[in-house]
Amino acid sequence: MKSGFTGPLESIGCCCHRIPKSYKTGMRVDGHIYANDKLLEAIRKDQAPDQVANVAMLPGIQVASIAMPDIHWGYGFCIGGVCATDPEEGGVISPGGVGYDINCGVRFIKTNLYLDDVKHHMKKLVKALFYTVPSGAGRTGRYKFDATETRRLMGEGPRFVIDRGLGVARDLDHTEANGRIDDADPHQVSDHAVKRGAEQCGTLGSGNHFLEVQVVDSVFDADVAKVFGLELNQICVMIHSGSRGLGYQVCDDSLAAFRNCSTKYGFELPDRQLACAPVDSPEGRKYIAAMRAAANYGFCNRQLLMQQAREVFAGVFGRSWEDLGMEQLYDVAHNIAKLEEHTVDGKKKKVWVHRKGATRAFPAGHPEVPEKYRTVGQPVIIPGDMGRASWVLVGSQGAMEKTFGTTCHGAGRAMSRTAALKDGAGRRIDRELEHKGVIAMASSRNGLAEEQPKAYKNVDDVVDVVHEADLSRRVARMRPLGVIKG
């Protein structure tokens, strides 16, 4: 790994540190990194802040290049990176600002079960989930779609499968963008990408993707928790996955198409991984249409994962999923670019907000917050590691003022996968977790070693920062009881 960041990080307010645009020639705006002193020490050991500075050079960037406290090194953009570009000022779209796993995101499901109802059934439940929900690199699942159906699915999102009995219409009400981003064009997605996605919808994948059974162990805002339907000792399910091989291929295809765009359109980039094109160029429009289609696939993937989890719970507890109260709280993307209206220098304008490992966090009253939650704000789902905790937060006005309506997306890695594997060599991570009260099953021991709790920052520290900075507010904390991984 490269050496750490030695540039300036100037404190400019509550948990916010600035990389001045004078740091590197070509920076159009400052960089802003949200962190407390504890996290800042770790951030300085990484070169991700240099990526924040590089993003500040993108044409049309507005206000600042931003990073969340779960920042770590990524492809082009850091993980935890946020930037907004204005198409009226030559703004660009960058696949590196979305990531390879387009619409990687999180879905959170409530139940009417409590800890006493499930604690003696956890091994049976986790085993049933593991053998029902496909996980692991390249795995296919029980749902097969031909090319025509896959393209329809990308156009319609989860409604395509809900109309086939795999869910209910109210699931859409509690999904970002109602599970369908407008103006997607599945015909801009390559045949190779479609082929990769045809048998992977409804599968977890590998890496940091998971399905986890959790219990609410703390409630921090009782009023918001009541609106969200959360209470102490309640059992919930969290699903973290994205658009699988289809999204990866859309990104890969687009990076190849963007390779020479900086020369074609007359701008310079400090890193070829920041390949981008003007929003209104043929290359930009093609990527946006394909990215939106892949995002709709991602929503559909999590819909099918949720439906399989519902079926498993019904089988284990001998009651229908409806009778178990398995209702979706929310589904939110954290690898996405969207055209949104924001106030910049006192003027409302439409900008392309890139969120790469960062979560939308709209406040109370925002028209895109589901009606049921509009009085309090958008639910924000923040997964942690499989040994400590995850969180439900709520969107805050501060995010609209500081970060284009954005907050963190998770704990953020503290160790590379290689380092985590080395650290886990010879250990039984599953037994260590079971000793802590967590039943874990994975396709391989390496998968568990890569994702061991030690490999991640403490998500509580990350949440402390976004709460103190008023990017989102604490509602409830969950601890893991059982998890399946690839």
Binding residue numbers: 101, 208-212, 240, 334-335, 383-386, 390, 409-412, 485
112, amino acid identity: N
Which three-class secondary structure state does DSSP give residue 92? strand
| First and final C-alpha spacing in the chain | 25
Compute the residue count for the chain.
486
Specify binding-site residues for Mn(2+). 101, 209, 240, 334
Copy the structure tokens of residue 39.
């996290």
Task: Evaluate whether 47 touches 64 at the Cβ level (below 8 Å).
Answer: no
Q: Which residue from 449, 137, 93 is spatially nearest to 283, judged by alpha carbons?
A: 93
339, amino acid identity: L
Can you tell me the distance from the alpha carbon of 213 to that of 19, in angstroms, rounded to the nearest whole number? Answer: 40
For residue 17, indicate whether it is catalytic: no
Pairing of strands 277-278, 92-93: antiparallel
Sequence-separated (6 or more) residues with CB below 8 Å from residue 484: 126, 129, 130, 133, 135, 204, 210, 211, 212, 440, 441, 442
Task: Evaluate whether 318 touches 106 at the Cβ level (below 8 Å).
Answer: no
Task: Evaluate whether 78 touches 43 at the Cβ level (below 8 Å).
Answer: no
Copy the structure tokens of residue 266.
């007359």
Can you tell me the distance from the alpha carbon of 59 to that of 121, in angstroms, rounded to the nearest whole number? Answer: 55
Task: Evaluate whether 309 touches 133 at the Cβ level (below 8 Å).
Answer: yes
Can you tell me the distance from the alpha carbon of 383 to that of 385, in angstroms, rounded to the nearest whole number? Answer: 7
Phi/psi of residue 423, nearest 5 degrees = -65, -35
Residue of 174, 354, 409, 467 marked active site: 409
Task: Evaluate whether 335 touches 356 at the Cβ level (below 8 Å).
Answer: yes
- The angle, 0 to 180 degrees and rounded to 10, between the axes of the packed helices 282-317 and 122-132 is 140
277, amino acid identity: A
Specify binding-site residues for GMP. 208-212, 334-335, 383-386, 390, 409-412, 485
Sequence-separated (6 or more) residues with CB below 8 Å from residue 85: 58, 59, 60, 61, 62, 91, 92, 93, 279, 351, 352, 354
Sequence-separated (6 or more) residues with CB below 8 Å from residue 320: 314
Sequence-separated (6 or more) residues with CB below 8 Å from residue 30: 18, 19, 20, 21, 56, 64, 65
Give ∠ CA 283-295-193 in degrees, rounded to 5: 65
Catalytic residue positions?
409
